[in-house]
Amino acid sequence: MREISRRTWLLTVLTAGLLVVGTGYWGYTQHQYKQRLLTYLNNRNQKAFFEMVSQVENMEVLLAKSIASGSPHQRSLLFSNLWMQANGAQNNLGTLPLAHFQVARTAKFLNQVGDFAYALAKKDPDKQQITASEERKLAQLHREAGYLAVELQRIRAKAVEGLLTWGEVENQAPKLKKAGLTGISAGFEKIDGQMQKFPTLIYDGPFSDHIEQKAPKGLTGAVVSATEAKNIAAQYLAKGNKPLFRPVRVRSVTGKIPAYRVYFDPAAGTGPNAVVDVSKKGGHVVMLMVNRDTGGKTFSLRQAENKADGYLKSRGLIDMVPTYSLVQGNNAVISYAYRQKGVLIYPDLIKVKVALDNGDILGLDTLGFLMSHHKRNLPQPKISQAEARRAVNPNLKIREARLAVIPTDTLGEKLVYEFKGKLNGDTFIVYINAMDGTEEKVLKVIETKDGPMTM
């Protein structure tokens, strides 16, 4: 009997020991995994940031050279290079873990430089000279690029000193801001605030600046007060009738759509905070962002789309069709286009960000929709879909076809047939003008681990 008790005691001790060792090993491996993940994120973001700083510095130099150059052919080369540098900087900026409102004006500036350079590079150097007005605009862009390069260099110096890592930015930005601490994200917000004070670029090119100048077509209704804006923002953040956040501060913001920016804290206890922009005219939500970390993926992309669909409908944003989805970390960003009488209207764009750990809506971007949306008098196609197919490369194996409206470089719109198909193992989307059968655009779809991209 005594022998049995002794064996039981030994077995208990052995089991407890194994549990302690197992738990310790599991904790150690989780810690190691988290450290590797943080290192990966930090390296990835550091690389994108450093490349962006270099590209902005190159932009400043290229703008200076283009002003100094007296050779139309040399200028054409400089503008082509400038266009590539601006696009590269914009792409790298887009990969950084920064909120849209922190970099909106900076992103717009990079887009403007790229579009302007592209428009100038397309000029025939033997026939079209740079005008005096364009010279002045180049000088203006050069000044702004110089400011941006200097400020980015200051942030880079901080990053090099190790004052803040990018992994910490992703996890700690809201807490740092709440604590009044400065870091990389705060540096970008400062730059963006300063760049909003620069005069709006005006040029005769056909691209983004016209978007900047045109009045939003989707803003309807009367001007709302700050109090009304707070209520509207709170409704967009609520889950059913349950308020999840309480407004703590409101300030005015400028931009394409003047708005009230409403800051929220959790309705009770601790938790994530949120920011919502509500247009002053009509009280439309322009941007919504909930700042919280997301855990592992338990929702599929399809389930995330269902969540986003339901959210848009519950907020009165109907007839929106999901077009593309992108997985970013543990979140899904789903793009929607408006549908009018069966025709997809690509300029009327809305993006929804869904957390893949629990399906929460963490972001909403309706800027494209509010800038473009209006009831269109769509013409009847003058050619049939079958006739349009004949304009497509016969080697393209077409899988999908539909009518759509796409924006043009001249800020107009065209009714097209959209054909999606495969050629030599690659996926392409071809747009054929529905009025005259002209091939308007060809996009190559690149499948990445995060979702499809086009170029």
Comparing CA positions, the residue from 82, 97, 50 lying closest to residue 74 is 82
Q: What is the pLDDT of residue 26?
A: 66
Q: pLDDT value at position 339? A: 95
Average the pLDDT over 136-150 and give the result.
86
List, for residues 392-445, the tens digit of each pLDDT value. Answer: 888 889 999 999 998 876 667 899 999 999 888 888 888 999 999 988 887 777
What percentage of the chain reaches a pLDDT higher than 70? 78
- Which of 98-107, 145-154, 236-245 has the lowest average pLDDT? 98-107
Domain 226-372 - what CATH class? alpha beta
At residue 201, the pLDDT reads 43
Query: 351 and 364 in contact (C-beta within 8 Å)?
Result: yes
Q: Which tens digits make up the pLDDT trace of 55-113?
A: 998 898 888 888 887 777 788 888 888 888 888 888 788 777 776 667 777 888 888 88
CA 399 from centre of chain: 28
Query: 252 φ, ψ to 5°?
Result: -85, 145
Least confidently predicted of 70-74, 76-80, 115-119, 203-207: 203-207
pLDDT for the residue numbered 1: 54
Tokens 């800038």 appear where? 371
286 is written with which tokens?
A: 């322009």
pLDDT at 260 over 90: yes
Q: What is the pLDDT of residue 284?
A: 96
Pick the CATH number of 385-454 from 3.40.50, 1.10.3470, 3.10.450, 2.50.20: 3.10.450
CA angle 337–339–341, rounded 5-degree value: 165
Instruction: List, for residues 343-371, the tens digit of each pLDDT value.
Output: 999 889 898 999 999 999 999 989 889 98
Banded pLDDT at 335 (limits 50, 70, 90): confident
Contacts of 338 (CB under 8 A, 6+ apart): 319, 320, 321, 344, 345, 348, 350, 369, 373
CA 57-62-66 angle, 5° bins: 155
pTM score of the predicted model: 0.58
Mean pLDDT of 372-394: 93
- Separation of alpha carbons 263 and 247, rounded Å: 6
> Average pLDDT, stretch 43-62?
85
**Alpha carbons 344 and 406: distance in angstroms, whole number:** 9
Rg (the chain; Cα; Å): 26
Please, is 50 exposed, middle or buried when counting C-beta atoms within 10 Å of its C-beta (0-12, 13-18, 19+)?
middle
Q: How far apart are CA 82 and CA 172, in angstroms?
A: 35
Mean residue pLDDT of the chain comes to 80
Total Cβ atoms within 10 A of residue 197: 8
Quote the pLDDT of residue 2. Answer: 57
